[in-house]
């Protein structure tokens, strides 16, 4: 059972367009909007954690990751000193 409300305002023409698209898919407005919003949200999240490279670009990318910095980088040193949220004290 859904129990979290999401409220928004739309122009009448936006609502009508959404209703038309939902109807074409045999869905009601809420189900359509929730499905489309979740699909888009997943795409945005995946864009932050997944990217596709051809083999040559992937080799260049991994080589860059494997190459130590040419000069001291205080920002990188601070970043690498931060304990990741998924690590445990036992490690």
pLDDT (tens digit, 0 to 9) for every residue of the chain, 91 residues total? Answer: 888 999 999 999 999 999 999 999 999 999 999 999 999 999 998 888 877 899 999 999 999 999 988 899 999 899 989 988 887 765 5
Q: Measured between alpha carbons, how far is residue 19 from residues 12, 22, 23, 31 in Å?
A: 10, 5, 6, 11
Cβ neighbours around 77 below 10 Å, total: 10
Copy the structure tokens of residue 54: 């051809």
List CB contacts of 19: < 8 A, sequence separation 6 or more: 29
């Amino acid at each position: 059972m859904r129990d979290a409300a999401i409220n928004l305002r739309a122009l009448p023409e936006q609502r009508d367009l959404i209703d038309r698209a939902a109807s074409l898919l045999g869905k009601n407005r809420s189900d359509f909007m929730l499905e489309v919003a979740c699909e888009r949200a997943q795409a945005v999240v995946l864009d932050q954690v997944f990217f596709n490279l051809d083999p040559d670009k992937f080799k260049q990318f991994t080589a860059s990751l494997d190459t130590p910095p040419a000069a001291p980088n205080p920002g990188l040193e601070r970043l690498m000193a931060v304990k990741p949220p998924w690590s445990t004290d036992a490690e």
